[in-house]
Structure 1
């Protein structure tokens, strides 16, 4: 199947799932599909700089990465429609809601690191996309914590995708402008 067809099939599925939740990008009125397509765009560009990159697999992951976490989609549903590898990748990218907040990201990163490098790439692309203007209700502590989490994520996924690692480093540096440090 051509990458365009894979993209269209997957984004339609993901859009329907996120629209059923009336989900928007936090701090905006933009439909959540904008975030998903931005993550997929990062993956499309990264694939051009990454020999041996499985783009069809990564595009599915990019567009579906939040469906288990944010919608009523099940693992079985993703597995039936997109295959077991995709479902396992999406599951690894999903924070375990049963864990305490402080354990969610380390747990997810540990599961991601046991899978293909394309799963790592989607996590990097997700954080690149999220390091935009933070929601207006975030205070300095929240913005700093988010930046620090991005630094940790970058360190943990080093070696996953050089192109996206560099992009994430640039976004972390650029994000500093949103952190006001009291004098």
Structure 2
């Protein structure tokens, strides 16, 4: 089967993301944040192996860069200059609008993601799959319930992008009940 993404493109985005997130840790741990991005891109690679119709380079670059605008000093323009407009638009769609009230952010994010190619939808599915691990010790029960409900919201909105990732997310949502 022909691979629909390039290792060089992946490495370029991975290095950029590693530099941008340098010193950041995964919430509630001492694990470098780049691990989260590796896990998200691994989910996307697994989906691309099964669903080869997607633009793998777009999906993988966005999976590695999806938190750069939201969580670092990197700007939309910097992503656009280095990776092109499609990647920058995808990363921007995956970035929460912090000017909105917290309870409005997910609906807004999903609306913006749905305006993008389905590869961007895949990144959001993979991101939530990756995040539906044991919650950080400091989360309240209410936060855990709300996070699982957001997972269901993401699943319902974006499941058509990737049957493979949708099935993985549905399984993770079911498994997450153990924390509720």
TM-score (norm 1): 0.94
Q: Where does structure 1 lack aligned partners over 5 or more consecutive residues? A: none
CA deviation profile, 1:118-142 (whole Å, cap 9, x unmatched) = 0000000000000001000112111
Mapped partners of 2:159, 2:171: distance in 1: 15
- Cα distance, 1:2 vs structure 2: 6.3
Say which is worse superposed, 68-77 or 45-54, in terms of deviation: 45-54
What corresponds to 1:117 in structure 2? 118
What corresponds to 2:45 in structure 1? 44
What corresponds to 1:146 in structure 2? 147
- Cα distance, 1:110 vs structure 2: 0.2
CA deviation profile, 1:81-122 (whole Å, cap 9, x unmatched) = 000000000000000111110111111100100110000000
Mapped partners of 2:52, 2:79: distance in 1: 27
Q: Is contact 2:159-2:165 (8 Å) kept?
A: no
* 2:12 alignment partner, SS class: helix
- Cα distance, 1:158 vs structure 2: 2.6
What corresponds to 2:63 in structure 1? 62
- Cα distance, 1:156 vs structure 2: 1.1
Aligned-residue CA RMSD in angstroms? Answer: 1.2
Within 5 Å, give how 1:4-83 maps onto structure 2.
4-19=7-22, 22-83=23-84
Mapped partners of 2:119, 2:139: distance in 1: 31
What is the count of residue pairs matched by the alignment? 177
Within 5 Å, give how 1:162-181 maps onto structure 2.
162-179=163-180
- Cα distance, 1:23 vs structure 2: 1.3
Q: Where does structure 2 lack aligned partners over 5 or more consecutive residues? A: none
* 2:161 alignment partner, SS class: coil
* 1:80 alignment partner, SS class: helix
Q: Is contact 2:21-2:68 (8 Å) kept?
A: yes
- Cα distance, 1:51 vs structure 2: 3.5
What corresponds to 2:6 in structure 1? 3
Mapped partners of 1:158, 1:37: distance in 2: 22
CA deviation profile, 1:55-77 (whole Å, cap 9, x unmatched) = 11111000000000000000000
TM-score (norm 2): 0.96
Mapped partners of 1:115, 1:30: distance in 2: 31
